[in-house]
Amino acid sequence: MFVVYSPEGQAYLGLQSTLPALKAQPIPPVAGTQKMENDPNQVAMDRRYHQVPLSIEQARKAYQQVREAAQARGEPLIEVREIMSTSVITLPMTATLEQAWRLFEERGVGTLPVMDGARVVGLLSVTDLMGHVWRENERMRVRTWPVTQVMSSPVITCWPETLIRRAARVMSDYLIHTLPVVSQGGQLEGMVTVSDIVARLATEPHLELYV
């Protein structure tokens, strides 16, 4: 199950196939490849969810149907919680780009979730910062802007019980490399990356199921 957050709050709760268009538009399937099949009844459900936002209980029931359909097809049910990193370094909304740059250098991470209290409102990557950093007299200079002016937002997140096959599909469609993992109450619990998924799939049989 996927949730989209912005500084204004939760913008979406639902299945992978009805995620709204964000800054990075979903890319169409490559010609000649087979589009991933929808789960039974998912198309009809998703049409309804376009008009009526899911409640937490509706989301749980909908995702249980997704899991049952995947299990019936013989897919390994590997959840994001099994591979995510739980030691997550975060930035407050009030942080500046200079503070973020220092944190990137000190911790050696590539992406930081931006938080409004306990809620994720955006993602900031080293790549996002590169256009705002320059060298001056042998020192690195960074714009004093707040991170909210540069971060990617809205941000797609997922629940810990999300199947990694669906997380991988969303990452591919939206050209993103990191998904914050949040509880059903919206609290940040971890981060999962493309590398995490690839590492797990490399050791998993029936790799063709994930293509």
Work out the pLDDT band at 210, boundaries 50, 70, 90: very low
Domain count, the chain: 2
Cβ contacts of 168 within 8 Å, gap of 6 or more: 194, 197, 201, 210
Give the pLDDT band of residue 137 (cuts 50, 70, 90): low
In a domain, 96, yes or no: yes
Q: Of 99, 120, 149, which closes a domain?
A: 149
In a domain, 101, yes or no: yes
Of 109, 132, 149, the domain-final residue: 149
Predicted pLDDT of residue 18: 67
Specify whether 105 is located in the same domain as 206. no
Domain stop point among 122, 149, 176: 149
Return the number of other C-beta atoms located less than 10 Å from residue 49's C-beta: 20
Residues 145 and 157 in one domain: no
pTM of the predicted model over 0.95: no
Closest CA to 86 of 198, 197, 210, 191: 191
pLDDT tens by residue, 57-87 = 777 777 677 777 777 777 778 899 999 999 9
- Beta-carbon contacts of residue 57 (< 8 Å; ≥ 6 apart): none
Among residues 80, 74, 61, 77, the alpha carbon closest in space to that of 15 is found at 61
| 77 & 8 share domain | yes
> What are the residues whose beta carbons fall under 8 Å from the beta carbon of 170, sequence distance 6 or more?
2, 16, 19, 156, 158, 176, 179
Q: 105 with 192, same domain?
A: no
Residue 117, domain extent: 91-149
Same structural domain, 145 and 162: no
Tokens of residue 184, six digits: 């059903």
Task: Please indicate, yes or no, whether residues 12 and 58 belong to a single structural domain of this protein.
Answer: yes
Q: Which of 63, 93, 65 is nearest to 155 (CA)?
A: 93
Token digits of residue 110: 């590539």
